[in-house]
Amino acid sequence: MYALVDANSFYCSVERSFNPSLEGKAVIVLSNRDGNVVARSDEAKKLGIKMGQPFFELKELREQHEIAVFSSNYTLYGDISSRFMSLLCRFVEDVEVYSIDEAFLHVDGYDSIYPSYEGLGKSIKETVAKRLRIPVCVGVGPTKTLAKLANKLAKQRPELGGVCVLDTPEVIDKALATFPVGDLWGVGSKSAAKLKKNDIDTAAQLRDVPDDWIRQIMTVNGLRLVHELRGFPCKLLEVSAPPKKSICTEPGFGRLVPDLNTITDALTTHLTRVCEKLRKQDSLCSAVVVSLHTKRYRKIPANGLPALQYHNHLTVVLPHPTNSTPELLKYAESGLKAIFKFGYNYQKVGIMLIGLVPSDYRQKGIFAEGPNEKLLTLATVVDKLNYRYGQDKLRLASQMYNPDWPMKQEYLSKCYTTRWKDILEAH
Amino acid sequence: MIDKIDPIPPENITRVDATSRPLLPLYSFVVQAGFASPAESHIERRLNLQDLCVNDTDCTYFVKAVGESMIGDYIFPSSILVVDSSVAVESGSVIVAWVNGECCVKRFVRQGKIIMLESSNEKYLPIYVHIGRDQFRVLGVVTFIVSKPPRYVRPC
């Protein structure tokens, strides 16, 4: 049996957990740069706010209703997420972290410790509520797909108390009979439309289709889904996630930029961020990919003609793996110079670090020296200082301070659990 | 006289690809020829304040105290409180909680249907919380207090 534990509108719940006066009020969390809505509390959903809706469209609604708005504070969400996952690991041995706010648990046999699966679910729910002040729902089923389905039911039906267990064939039959195929895990809007065309509306109908037919319509993934609905596990638990093979970032400038110096400054800023990530996961990278884009589909405002386009990217292979920002910048900058073409208005410059290897990897070539150990040590010192005194307090000279494209975060909450100056105050 | 060549089992034959030849480090470690430090087998981890103050890292929060309402419990302005949300709240525990959105550190006393949040400084009045009426959320129980020593002023 599998269980899926999923936090209810996680980002909003985290904001509430450090600010309980928001309980019962509409809360929304915005994407990077405060562009779109990425999370909504139930109250915000009731006001008709859509997922991904642009923030500026909500101006009128905000005048009529009280809506608490937050920029996404990924530092805080990340920390609470890791506490959440670590709490789950206390209940069962095998936990697959599926996303920032949900995890699959392998729960076979645990129903004897906690009188029933229901008891286990309730216990998880209560523990997380007490220790993290975050509401969660638990779905249990014989396969991951059915656990996901059970979780959805637990969210939709408040009378279940946040825990839904699909253990006997009768209960599963009943649940599948009314469950729309479009809401199933792994069924996108395209597949849903295809199934609808063939008069398949509920999960129960999908479960009973012939194998050959579904393989034709939805390939082998569809077949797996049907088997999972029948109660045969096809998707297994992936407990240990492999370390990241590449790290990339490609935020836009926020306006169009034609000149190389400004773009180089942006590149330095992006590179500083990805290098911090690289060092955090304790890796070195062996190549950088620099890319440059004009704005796609842009029309010249004066006459409406499509603007001239230019995209290019270049992979620079390093002589030896490294994680030092100045060293990487040297290569990234020369890569950028090579692909930069004069006379275009650029929208974004991207950087990707690839060929990541563990940081203890040292391979001396005959013609190339290994990485400069002093620079590697320096990088960790810079990270420590910036961690203590704030991002970018110590930076490269070519990194423009307070540039025009910082992450716009007007409604940011505090990092209550990761920065000393941000901790809660009690009177 | 050898009249037969030993057959090589097929699983021992591998195709060599010259383009992806793995490089081997020439010297990957140094061999110490000297005398090993006698202290080496007695190394222990250095003391760490976290081990002393924090019982459960996943359930621990740090909170800064403001004001003098809890001076009787050695909580001074800008003391850092170590708060554990996994510890059960009992009558008499010093807790950090939100009352109607206001975050406070107080002594928790239960009196029937009313919760009393007492200060340990006579100048401050207790807060009465009516369950079901006032909004009341507990962060956790204060398990440790970290403070700087007071600045000594020599009486003149």
3-class SS string, A338-387: HHCCCCCCEEEEEEEEEEEEECCCCCCCCCCCCCCHHHHHHHHHHHHHHH
On whether both A195 and A323 belong to a single domain, the answer is: no
Tokens encoding B80? 């850092």
- What is the pLDDT confidence band of residue B2, given thresholds at 50, 70 and 90? low
Position A398 scores a pLDDT of 72
On whether both A213 and A257 belong to a single domain, the answer is: no
- The reply to whether A408 falls in a domain is no
- What is the pLDDT confidence band of residue B23, given thresholds at 50, 70 and 90? low
On whether both A30 and A134 belong to a single domain, the answer is: yes
On whether both A197 and A315 belong to a single domain, the answer is: no
d(CA A308, CA A297): 9
Position A367 scores a pLDDT of 64
The CATH number that domain B49-146 falls under is 2.10.109.10
Residue A364 has pLDDT above 90, yes or no: no
Are the beta carbons of A20 and B135 separated by less than 8 Å?
yes
Report the residue of B137, B141, B145, B148 to disrupt the A interface, i.e. the one with the largest count of A CBs within 10 Å: B137
Q: Looking at CA atoms only, how far is residue B25 from chain A in angstroms?
A: 6
- Say if CB A358 and CB A282 are below 8 A apart: yes
User: Is A362's Cβ below 8 Å from some Cβ in B?
Assistant: yes
User: Is A364's Cβ below 8 Å from some Cβ in B?
Assistant: yes
User: Is A422's Cβ below 8 Å from some Cβ in B?
Assistant: no
Q: Looking at CA atoms only, how far is residue B127 from chain A in angstroms?
A: 12
- The reply to whether A153 falls in a domain is yes
Of A208-212, A283-287, A387-391, B54-58, the least confident: A387-391
On whether both A66 and A132 belong to a single domain, the answer is: yes
Position B29 scores a pLDDT of 52
Phi and psi, residue A405, nearest 5°: -120, 50
On whether both A173 and A160 belong to a single domain, the answer is: no
d(CA A10, CA A38): 11
On whether both A31 and A149 belong to a single domain, the answer is: yes
Q: Which of B23, B69, B85 sits opposite A427 (nearest CB)?
A: B69
User: Is B50's Cβ below 8 Å from some Cβ in A?
Assistant: no
Domain ranges, residue A148: 2-165
Q: Looking at CA atoms only, how far is residue A68 from chain B in angstroms?
A: 14
Position A266 scores a pLDDT of 85
Residue B31 has pLDDT above 80, yes or no: no
Q: The whole model's pTM is what?
A: 0.72
- Say if CB B106 and CB B50 are below 8 A apart: no
Query: How many other C-beta atoms lie within 10 A of the C-beta of residue A270?
Result: 23
Q: Which of A198, A230, A262 is at the close of a domain? A: A230
Q: How many CB pairs under 8 A join A and B?
A: 68
CA distances (Å), origin A284, targets A318, A353, A385, B107: 11, 9, 20, 51
Is the interface score ipTM higher than 0.90?
Answer: no
On whether both A159 and A11 belong to a single domain, the answer is: yes
On whether both A254 and A282 belong to a single domain, the answer is: yes
Q: How far is Cα of residue B139 from the mean position of the Cα atoms in its chain?
A: 15
Place of tokens 């975060």: A409
- The reply to whether A325 falls in a domain is yes
Domain count, chain A: 3
Question: SS3 sequence, A67-79?
Answer: EEEEECCHHHHHH
On whether both A14 and A157 belong to a single domain, the answer is: yes
Are the beta carbons of B23 and A365 separated by less than 8 Å?
yes
- Indicate which CATH number applies to the domain containing A110: 3.30.70.270
d(CA A69, CA A58): 11
On whether both A214 and A310 belong to a single domain, the answer is: no
On whether both A295 and A317 belong to a single domain, the answer is: yes
Question: SS3 sequence, A30-91?
Answer: ECHHHCEEEEECHHHHHCCCCCCCEHHHHHHHHHHCCEEEEECCHHHHHHHHHHHHHHHCCC
> Which chain B residues are within 8 Å of A134, Cβ to Cβ?
none
User: Is B133's Cβ below 8 Å from some Cβ in A?
Assistant: no
- Return mean pLDDT, chain A: 87
d(CA A257, CA A345): 5
